[in-house]
Amino acid sequence: MTHQTFEIIERSPTVAEHKFLWESVGWGHVNIEMTEQSLANSVYAVVALCDGDIVGMGRIVGDGAMYFYIQDVAVRPEYQGSGLGKMIMDQLLAFIKRRRHKNGIAFIGLFAASGKERFYEQYGFKDHSPEMTGMFTVLDN
C-alpha cells in the first residue's frame, strides 16, 4: 500500500457518510431517521478523509462527564491496517481525557466487532468476565 495522508476532522459524519461507512464494514443496513437523531445526540465525533473522500469515523455517546461509550469506529476495508483506526481512537480518547471530570474517573465502554478485540486491547480495553459481564438487549418491533 502506498503512503496515504488522512485528515481527521472533529465533526459528526453526515447521515449519508454514516450509512456508507456502516454498510461498507458489513454492519448491515441503517434506518436513516434513527441515524439522524442518534448522530445529533453524540457527545463527540470525528470523520477521516483521504483525498476528500470519507474513509473512517468514530464517535462518543454518554453523559460527557463520567460515562463515555465509544461507538461506530469504522474504517473502510481498503484502508484497514493503515493506522487510520489508531488515529481515530487516539482522537476519541484525547477528547475523553480533556472532557472527563477533572477529579474523577472516566468509565469508557465499547463493543468490538468479532476479530477486532486485539486492536482495542492496546488501549487497555479488556474482557472482564467472569467477574463482570457486558450485556445488552435490542428492542425492535
- Please tell me the predicted confidence (pLDDT) of residue 3: 67
- pLDDT, greater one: 1 or 15: 15
Task: Calculate the alpha carbon distances from 4 to 48, 57, 81 in Å.
Answer: 12, 17, 12
Whether residue 120 lies in the annotated active site: yes
What pLDDT, on the 0 to 100 scale, is given for residue 103? 82
pLDDT of 2 reads: 56
User: Span 7-121: which CATH code?
Assistant: 3.40.630.30
d(CA 137, CA 133): 13
- Grid coordinates representing 10? 472533529
pLDDT at position 127 over 90: no
* pLDDT higher than 50, residue 1: no
Which of 67, 79, 120, 123 is labelled catalytic?
Answer: 120
| Neighbouring C-beta atoms of residue 123, cutoff 10 Å | 15
Query: How does pLDDT run across 56-104, given as a tens digit for each residue?
Result: 999 999 998 899 999 999 999 999 999 999 999 999 999 999 988 888 8
Tens digit of each residue's pLDDT (9 = 90 or more) over 9-68: 999 999 999 999 999 999 998 889 999 999 999 999 999 999 999 999 999 999 988 999
Name the DSSP class of 36. Answer: H
Q: What is the pLDDT of residue 141?
A: 66
